[in-house]
Amino acid sequence: MATRVIPPRILKKLRYNTATKPFQPSLTSPALSPPNILDQKPPSSTTTVIPPAVADLNFHDVEKLFSYVPTSKLLRSTAVLHATAVEPLVDVGTWIMRSELMQTNNPVRDMALSATRATFFDHFCAGEDAVTAGKSIAGLNESGLRGMLVYGVEDAHDNDACDRNLKAFLHTCDVSRSLPPSSVSFNIVKITAICPMSLLERMSDLLRWQKKDPSMVLPWKQDSLPIFSDLSPLYHTRKRPEPLTAQEERDLELANKRFQELCEKCVQSNIPLLVDAEFTSVQPAIDYFTYAAAIVHNKGENPIVFNTMQTYLKDAKDRLFLASKAADKMGIPMGFKLVRGAYMSSERKLAADLGFASPIHNTIKDTHKCFNDCSNFMLEKIANGPGGLVLATHNIESGKLAAAKAHELGIGKVNHKMEFAQLYGMSEALSFGLSNAGFQVSKYMPFGPVETVMPYLLRRAEENRGVLAASGFDRQLMRKELFRRLKSSVF
């Protein structure tokens, strides 16, 4: 691939500038964390060489960036993002949605749901059913992006709810399969929706205690990959837990059958299944389910079952290394989605209440570095062997670093082993910028009735305040494009 030579005066125009100081990662190893080429000062020579993968990440040509976005949608997106950046407004909206007014049918509830459906729901969700979500994906695909379909249900507490949720996940697979080839990159599943939460908590307790005491025998445990590292939090389990009861073992068997049925459906559809991450209190059980299924279903070069790593956790990098090493030894191609994390406030509060240090990195800089290090480790891994990687990030700097690393390793752009991803309705500039540069980009697209998806929307509002407030970059570019369109229509 040829490199592009750009004079310093043009390079200066290409640099990304924001109102806030951009994150500068601490690069302890150049091999793991390549320098951000766009943010380096040009040398005194007359030219600077920039890898095309980075040079093509153009966030300045707003006409090209938002060329596939209708003006009506651009106006609504700008308004919604402005609203989500106003914390008092988010607080009031969250209070109303959690109040007793929403528990019974009344005019206030109807008005609140109607307003939510026309604004936040339409912006952050793909529709109220799988068919409508499929149409949203088809529209998204016309703009060069792909979709990750997820039924937007949260936790289940009994087997009946788990069975209902499984039917919805299976129907999602059927809808995904009916759409144009490659328009759906992944089907998403929440283990918390197909296995009762109480069982996940009990399994996690037992797995944590087995980490403390390897002599403990868990008769229900199948072959898996490493779940913990020496840095993993074990404070959730204060005393030796009792073995699973006979009823709990029967419930576990049902949960296994549900998950295996979903995995087999994805194998038949040839659409990978991505397992979402959750709280650290139940994550060990989720990792166990995921890795056990990966050992059975991941064959050849391309994995079917992907796990999610939340890199705001102090043990994330070690867990990723250990699981990857074990998978390699077993000849299992493993896929991972890397995210920063979505439960910061609740995780810190739980640790503090129990008298332990937070499992979350102490600074945002440490979290950024962990994400970038994990990203580079996985890019190097898939460049030289089997496996898959989804970089789910809203961070501009991480996008640049990953693009540069992919170019450095010769992975190329449109590569079936690598995918960028952002939440539907967020980080549009980054999504379109990466897509315009030739990379595969997906949007995480929850769907379901407004009442069903409401917990998801509330959780996004509460846990992603920083991301929502930081959407100023998107809002600024959207306003610029709206003014450009207004000006062109007038003159």
Domain range for 223: 134-454
pLDDT at 111: 81
Average pLDDT over residues 46-51: 41
pLDDT at 180: 86
> If you compute the radius of gyration of the chain from its CA atoms, what whole number of angstroms results?
23
Binned at pLDDT 50, 70 and 90, residue 146 comes out as very high
- Of 277 and 53, the structure prediction assigns the larger pLDDT to 277
Residue 138 has pLDDT above 80, yes or no: yes
- Of 250 and 414, the structure prediction assigns the larger pLDDT to 250
Binned at pLDDT 50, 70 and 90, residue 79 comes out as confident
Residue 151 pairs in a beta bridge with 447
- Of 47 and 488, the structure prediction assigns the larger pLDDT to 488
pLDDT at 297: 96
Average pLDDT over residues 252-269: 96
pLDDT at 262: 97
Binned at pLDDT 50, 70 and 90, residue 68 comes out as confident
Average pLDDT over residues 340-356: 89
Binned at pLDDT 50, 70 and 90, residue 78 comes out as confident
Average pLDDT over residues 72-101: 74
Binned at pLDDT 50, 70 and 90, residue 298 comes out as very high
Residue 6 has pLDDT above 90, yes or no: no
Domain containing residue 199: CATH number: 3.20.20.220
Residue 463 and residue 42 in contact, taking contact as beta carbons nearer than 8 Å = no
The answer to the question of residue 381 being in a domain is yes
Residue 212 has pLDDT above 90, yes or no: yes
The answer to the question of residue 125 being in a domain is no
Average pLDDT over residues 23-50: 35
Residue 391 pairs in a beta bridge with 338, 420
Question: In angstroms, rounded to a whole number, what is the distance separating the alpha carbons of residues 481 and 464?
Answer: 26
Whole-structure pTM value = 0.83
- The lowest-confidence range among 31-40, 84-93, 206-215, 254-263 is 31-40
Residue 397 and residue 368 in contact, taking contact as beta carbons nearer than 8 Å = yes
- Of 41 and 343, the structure prediction assigns the larger pLDDT to 343
Binned at pLDDT 50, 70 and 90, residue 1 comes out as very low
The answer to the question of residue 116 being in a domain is no
The answer to the question of residue 273 being in a domain is yes
* Helices 87-98 + 71-84 axis angle, to 10: 90
pLDDT in tens, 407-438: 888 886 656 789 999 998 888 889 988 988 88
- The lowest-confidence range among 23-32, 205-214, 419-428 is 23-32
The answer to the question of residue 352 being in a domain is yes
Number of domains in the chain: 1
Question: In angstroms, rounded to a whole number, what is the distance separating the alpha carbons of residues 141 and 176?
Answer: 13
Residue in the block written with tokens 């043009």: 10
pLDDT at 473: 77
Residue 241 and residue 206 in contact, taking contact as beta carbons nearer than 8 Å = yes
pLDDT at 465: 56
Question: In angstroms, rounded to a whole number, what is the distance separating the alpha carbons of residues 186 and 183?
Answer: 9
Residue in the block written with tokens 């610029």: 480
The answer to the question of residue 61 being in a domain is no
pLDDT at 461: 63
pLDDT at 29: 34
pLDDT at 191: 97
pLDDT in tens, 374-402: 999 999 999 988 899 999 999 889 999 99
DSSP calls for 397-466: HHHHHHHHHHHHHT--SS-TTEEEEEETTS-HHHHHHHHHTT--EEEEEEES-HHHHHHHHHHHHHHTHH
Average pLDDT over residues 112-135: 83
The answer to the question of residue 247 being in a domain is yes
Residue 33 has pLDDT above 60, yes or no: no
- The lowest-confidence range among 57-66, 169-178, 354-363, 387-396 is 57-66
The answer to the question of residue 72 being in a domain is no
Mean pLDDT of the chain: 82
The half-sphere exposure of 161 on its side-chain side, counting CA atoms within 13 A, is: 13
Closest C-alpha among 303, 301, 290, 305 to residue 224 = 290
pLDDT at 487: 81
Average pLDDT over residues 91-110: 72
pLDDT at 234: 95
Closest C-alpha among 367, 474, 446, 398 to residue 189 = 446
